[in-house]
Amino acid sequence: MNHLDMPLLGAKWAIGSIALFHTAVASLAIGFAFFVTVAQILAYLRRDRDYDILAKKIQLIHVCIYNIGTINAIGLVFLLSGLFPQFWGQIFNQFFWPLIVEEFLFFLLATTLTFHYFFWDKLWGHKKLHIVLGAMLTPLFLLQFYIINGLGGFMLTPGAGEAEVSLRLGVWGWDRLGFYNPSFLMLTLHRSFANVAYGSFAVAFIAGVNLYLTNRPRIKEFWAKGGELAFYTGFSAFLSLPLIGYFYAHVLRNEATDAYVNLMWGRGDIVAGGVDWWWLWHILVAAMLGMSLIYFKTTGKTAEKGGGKAIERPFTLPGVMVWAVAFFYVMFYVAMGMVMTWAFFWYMLAFGIGGGLLVRFMLATGGGSPRGVYILIGLLSFMTVILGGYAREASRPRFVNRIAHYDKVFVPEDRQPYLMVDVDPATIPRAERKPEPGGPVNLIRRKCSGCHTLSRVKGHKLSDWGVVVKQMKAYGLKLSREQERTITAHLESGKPY
Partner 1 sequence: MTQADDKKPPREEKPKKGGSPAKAEEAEAPAPAAEAKAPPGEEAGQAPSGPKWEAELDSYPLREKSEDKRWAVRTVWTWIGVLIVSLTFIMTMLVLGAIHD
d(C-alpha 443, C-alpha 487), whole Å: 7
Note whether 164 binds partner 1 by CB under 8 A: no
Note whether 49 binds partner 1 by CB under 8 A: yes
In this structure, are strands 271-272 and 310-312 parallel, antiparallel, or unpaired? unpaired
Note whether 136 binds partner 1 by CB under 8 A: yes
d(C-alpha 378, C-alpha 212), whole Å: 15
DSSP per-residue string spanning 388-423: HHHHHHHTSPPPBTTB---TTT--HHHHHHHHHS--
Note whether 223 binds partner 1 by CB under 8 A: no
In this structure, are strands 301-303 and 271-272 parallel, antiparallel, or unpaired? unpaired
- Interface residue with partner 1, options 139, 368, 425, 437 (CB under 8 A): 139
Note whether 185 binds partner 1 by CB under 8 A: no
Residue 332 contacts residue 246 (beta carbons within 8 Å): yes
- Interface residue with partner 1, options 72, 157, 164, 175 (CB under 8 A): 175
- Interface residue with partner 1, options 174, 327, 346, 361 (CB under 8 A): 174
- Interface residue with partner 1, options 104, 172, 323, 346 (CB under 8 A): 104
Note whether 160 binds partner 1 by CB under 8 A: no
Q: Which stretch binds partner 1 (CB under 8 A): 48-56, 308-316, 332-340, 481-489?
A: 48-56
Helices 217-238 and 184-213 cross at an angle (nearest 10°) of: 160
Closest approach, Cβ 151 to partner 1, in A, equals 14
d(C-alpha 133, C-alpha 299), whole Å: 34
Residue count of the chain: 497
- Interface residue with partner 1, options 80, 163, 171, 263 (CB under 8 A): 171
Residue 26 contacts residue 69 (beta carbons within 8 Å): yes
- Interface residue with partner 1, options 7, 125, 273, 307 (CB under 8 A): 125
Note whether 143 binds partner 1 by CB under 8 A: yes
How far CA 254 is from CA of 153, 166, 175, 446, 477, in Å, comes to: 14, 20, 22, 12, 13
Nearer to partner 1, 139 or 417 (CB): 139
Neighbours of 54 (CB within 10 A): 27
- Interface residue with partner 1, options 115, 248, 332, 382 (CB under 8 A): 115
Nearer to partner 1, 25 or 206 (CB): 206
Residue 159 contacts residue 178 (beta carbons within 8 Å): yes
Q: Which amino acid is at 220?
A: K
- Interface residue with partner 1, options 22, 130, 282, 297 (CB under 8 A): 130
d(C-alpha 140, C-alpha 136), whole Å: 6
Q: Which stretch binds partner 1 (CB under 8 A): 120-128, 349-357, 393-401, 447-455?
A: 120-128
d(C-alpha 43, C-alpha 48), whole Å: 5
Q: Which stretch binds partner 1 (CB under 8 A): 131-139, 292-300, 327-335, 373-381?
A: 131-139
Q: Which stretch binds partner 1 (CB under 8 A): 66-74, 80-88, 210-218, 479-487?
A: 210-218
Binding mask 15-44 for partner 1 (x = CB under 8 A): ----------------------------x-
Note whether 228 binds partner 1 by CB under 8 A: no
d(C-alpha 233, C-alpha 221), whole Å: 18
The residue count for binding partner 1 (CB under 8 A) is 45
Note whether 6 binds partner 1 by CB under 8 A: no
Q: Which amino acid is at 439?
A: G
Q: Which stretch binds partner 1 (CB under 8 A): 49-57, 273-281, 396-404, 407-415?
A: 49-57
Note whether 219 binds partner 1 by CB under 8 A: yes
- Interface residue with partner 1, options 71, 85, 176, 471 (CB under 8 A): 176
The DSSP symbol for 463 reads: G
The secondary structure element, H or E, covering residue 383 is helix 371-394
Nearer to partner 1, 147 or 294 (CB): 147
Note whether 45 binds partner 1 by CB under 8 A: no
Binding mask 51-80 for partner 1 (x = CB under 8 A): -xx---------------------------
Nearer to partner 1, 127 or 460 (CB): 127
- Interface residue with partner 1, options 9, 64, 74, 132 (CB under 8 A): 132
Tell the burial category of 6 from Cβ atoms under 10 Å away from its Cβ (0-12, 13-18, 19+): middle
Helix (H, G, I), strand (E, B) or coil at 291: helix
d(C-alpha 363, C-alpha 295), whole Å: 8
Give the residue among 220, 486, 272 at the shortest CA–CA distance from 387: 272
Residue 204 contacts residue 234 (beta carbons within 8 Å): yes
Closest approach, Cβ 447 to partner 1, in A, equals 35
The upper half-sphere exposure of residue 222, i.e. CA atoms within 13 Å in the direction of its Cβ, equals 18
Closest approach, Cβ 472 to partner 1, in A, equals 39
Q: How far apart are the first and last CA of the chain?
A: 38
Note whether 50 binds partner 1 by CB under 8 A: yes
d(C-alpha 184, C-alpha 150), whole Å: 6
Q: What are phi and psi for residue 491, nearest 5 degrees? A: -70, -40
Note whether 93 binds partner 1 by CB under 8 A: no
Footprint of partner 1 (CB under 8 A): 43, 47-50, 52-53, 97-98, 101, 104-105, 108, 111-112, 115, 119, 121-127, 129-130, 132-133, 136, 139-140, 143, 146, 171, 174-177, 179-180, 214, 216, 218-219, 222
